[in-house]
Amino acid sequence: GQQVMQIPQYQHVQEGEDFTTYCNSSTTLSNIQWYKQRPGGHPVFLIQLVKSGEVKKQKRLTFQFGEAKKNSSLHITATQTTDVGTYFCGVNRDDKIIFGKGTRLHILP
Amino acid sequence: GAVVSQHPSRVICKSGTSVKIECRSLDFQATTMFWYRQFPKQSLMLMATSNEGSKATYEQGVEKDKFLINHASLTLSTLTVTSAHPEDSSFYICSASLPNTEAFFGQGTRLTVV
């Protein structure tokens, strides 16, 4: 079935540094979604990308969808302690959403 | 955004007993809900798709007799962990979504079997 690979699994950054997580699929995706899960919390939807080459921004977060619609990235500029958590990408498959393994972001003060 | 409510948030039960977890979509009708299991610091593992008015569809490797799912109405799905054992201890999360849209997650249930 459709799998989505997400890297890295963990990332430690100094506060103020940038952070990027990547998701890759072997098949063309209809769309891709990004979620954030704070420690002890539940995943919360951030954004959905649909168009080839699409770039969307939410304050310090930049989301990109590859031209071939097989990969996506989430980039955080100048991380803050509030960015701590696990970031998941999710793809639709047969009316389900399949999630990547997630990237756990830890911020060093 | 849509709200999905999950209850209870935490439960501790004795080994051999059964535990029921409820998932409600509060402001939209969900013909389909999903149940996930998450181990500490790991990803969301889809367990089953709950279909209103019909049998749930289980993912490979998930025991349907162990994890009973009932979706009796368009706003309520329940997951019952039967004859729970310590290895069933985990974080269980439900979600609901409309086709090809984002998922709205419940708050999750942390199950501890002692």
Bridge partners (DSSP) listed for residue B33: B50, B96
> What counts of helices (H) and strands (E) characterise chain A?
0, 11
**What does the pLDDT average to over A94-103?**
88
Cβ(B74)–Cβ(B30) below 8 Å: yes
Q: Cβ–Cβ of B49/A35 closer than 8 Å?
A: no
pLDDT band at B2 (very low <50, low <70, confident <90, very high): low
Q: Is A97 on the interface with B (CB under 8 A)?
A: yes
Q: Cβ–Cβ of B32/A95 closer than 8 Å?
A: yes
Chain A residues with CB-CB distance to B97 below 8 A: 97
Tokens 């109405």 — which residue? B73
The sign of the CA dihedral B67, B70, B76, B82 is negative
pLDDT of residue A11 exceeding 90:
yes
Chain A residues with CB-CB distance to B46 below 8 A: 96, 98-99
- Closest residue in B to A91 (Cα) is B100
Q: Cβ–Cβ of A43/B103 closer than 8 Å?
A: yes
Q: From CA B50, how far away is CA B43, in angstroms rounded?
A: 20
**What are the tokens at A103?**
């990237």
Q: Is A48 on the interface with B (CB under 8 A)?
A: yes
Q: What is the largest CA-CA distance in chain A?
A: 42
**What does the pLDDT average to over B49-56?**
87
Q: From CA A39, how far away is CA B82, in angstroms rounded?
A: 28
Q: Cβ–Cβ of A30/B100 closer than 8 Å?
A: yes
Q: Is A20 on the interface with B (CB under 8 A)?
A: no
CA angle A71, B34, A41 (to 5 degrees): 75
pLDDT of residue A2 exceeding 70:
no
Mutate to test the interface with A, among B4, B6, B41, B43 (most CBs of A within 10 A): B43
Phi, psi of A24 (to 5 degrees): -135, 140
Give pLDDT, residue B32. Answer: 87
pLDDT of residue B47 exceeding 80:
yes
pLDDT of residue B74 exceeding 80:
yes
Phi, psi of A58 (to 5 degrees): -135, 95
Mutate to test the interface with B, among A84, A87, A95, A98 (most CBs of B within 10 A): A95
- Closest residue in A to B106 (Cα) is A42
Q: Please list, residue by residue across A71-88, b when 16 or more beta carbons sit within 10 angstroms of its beta carbon and e when fewer do.
A: bbbbbbeebeeebebbbb
Q: Is A95 on the interface with B (CB under 8 A)?
A: yes
